[in-house]
Amino acid sequence: MTDNVLVILSCGTDNPNRTTRALFFAMVAHKEGKKSSVFLLDEGVYVAKKGMITNVRAATGDSADDHITYLQEYGIPIYVCTPCAKSRQISESDLIDGARMAMGAELIRLACESKVISL
């Protein structure tokens, strides 16, 4: 069994519950001793744009921004689908600390090496 956990998120500010939950699960996986990472695609790329999720909260009151801050503090990789970001006019310079652009081949590599949670 692998200790790698990949959380794939395809929604962003359009679905605050799923967005917050995805980041929460990446955080929990890390706290449980797993090597976690996050891959953002489609609308999920907005999560990695500076200032976009400051006020995003789940119905439970959890803050997506708090979870992102945890991921950043612990160096959890945040991958941003390059064509998804570019089609939304998001450039590398727009990304939060700890996030970087990545292509589909990297998603496949990560998925093949990890247990996957997709939201």
How many domains are there within the chain? 1
Supply the range of the domain harboring residue 105: 4-118
Residue 1 has pLDDT above 70, yes or no: no
Residue 73 has pLDDT above 70, yes or no: yes
Over residues 30-45, the mean pLDDT reads 97
Residue 93 has pLDDT above 90, yes or no: yes
Q: What is the CATH number of the domain that holds 113?
A: 3.40.1260.10
Q: Where do runs of H (alpha helix) occur along the chain?
A: 16-31, 64-73, 82-86, 104-112
State if pTM tops 0.75.
yes
d(CA 83, CA 55): 26
Residue 85 has pLDDT above 80, yes or no: yes
pLDDT attached to residue 2: 80
pLDDT attached to residue 119: 85
For 51, phi then psi, to 5°, come to 80, 0
